[in-house]
Amino acid sequence: MIKIAVLVSGSGSNLQALIDANLSGQIVGVISNKPDAYALERAKNAGIQTAAIEHKQYPTREAFDAVMHQQLLDWDVDLVILAGFMRILSAQFVQSWEGKMVNIHPSLLPNYKGMHTHKRVLNTGDVFHGCTVHYVTAELDAGQALAQGVVKVSNQDTETSLANRVHELEHIIYPQVVEWICTGALKHTSNGVIYRDHPMKAPVQFCKF
């Protein structure tokens, strides 16, 4: 069974969705860089071991990442899931987990990398918005996209209403992608990403209009 670690910084609603999904893999640990993250409570309530590794206590990004890396090795982790983890990872850490680390980002990548995506979508007047699960590579929010959840933006939408709808889809697509990885339906190989025995050319799309 695949052993999973989830990295968090905040509320952890995606972590909760992963816990509730009863995955074929096992979530063996949750790491937070913020000791007061509510996500840690969710993990404890589910009987999952936790580690609070406060980034502020380390002189460099690399030093902090090295401690996280060691914790992941100690837990014998196969797959690292970033779920609202608000730290940029060092190149070395990303390289160590390449092909074994996924993230969810609240936009239809490659559009709106970075922060404040809902606001930027509203300001631009886009018709569609959503979220993307992707492999993590050294370049921010740029690894291969595996699945996208698409919502339609209405002119009644506020940043909050849009964020809520995108979040609902996140809670569907993230556990789904992780389950594909756990069952081997989705594989990262030296020849690229394979989905159900075919090269994955585009992310799987989930729409909620």
| Alpha-carbon distances, residue 157 vs 118, 162, 172, 175 (angstroms) | 10, 6, 21, 26
Residue 128: other Cβ atoms inside 10 A: 14
Q: Which is nearer to ligand GRF, 22 or 190 (CB)?
A: 22
Number of residues in contact with ligand GRF under rule CB under 6 A: 13
Q: Given the DSSP bridges, would you call strands 101-105 and 79-82 parallel, antiparallel or unpaired?
A: parallel
| SS3 state at 202 | coil
Q: Which is nearer to ligand GRF, 98 or 168 (CB)?
A: 168
Give the residue closest to ligand GRF by C-beta. Answer: 84
Q: Both tokens of residue 121?
A: 């979508």
105 catalytically annotated: yes
Sheet holding 204-208, edge to edge: 49-52, 26-32, 3-8, 79-82, 101-105, 128-135, 145-152, 204-208
To ligand GRF, the closest distance from the beta carbon of 174 in angstroms equals 8
The catalytic position among 69, 105, 118, 129 is 105
Q: Which is nearer to ligand GRF, 86 or 194 (CB)?
A: 86
Between residue 82 and residue 141, which ones bind ligand GRF under the rule CB under 6 A?
83-84, 104-106, 131
Q: Which is nearer to ligand GRF, 105 or 188 (CB)?
A: 105
Between residue 7 and residue 66, which ones bind ligand GRF under the rule CB under 6 A?
10-14
Residue with tokens 């159900």: 196
**Dist CA 71 CA 49 (whole Å):** 11
To ligand GRF, the closest distance from the beta carbon of 82 in angstroms equals 7
To ligand GRF, the closest distance from the beta carbon of 148 in angstroms equals 12
* Residue 170 within binding range of ligand GRF, rule CB under 6 A: yes
**Dist CA 199 CA 47 (whole Å):** 37
To ligand GRF, the closest distance from the beta carbon of 184 in angstroms equals 25
Active site residues: 105
Q: Rule CB under 6 A: which residues touch ligand GRF?
A: 10-14, 83-84, 104-106, 131, 167, 170
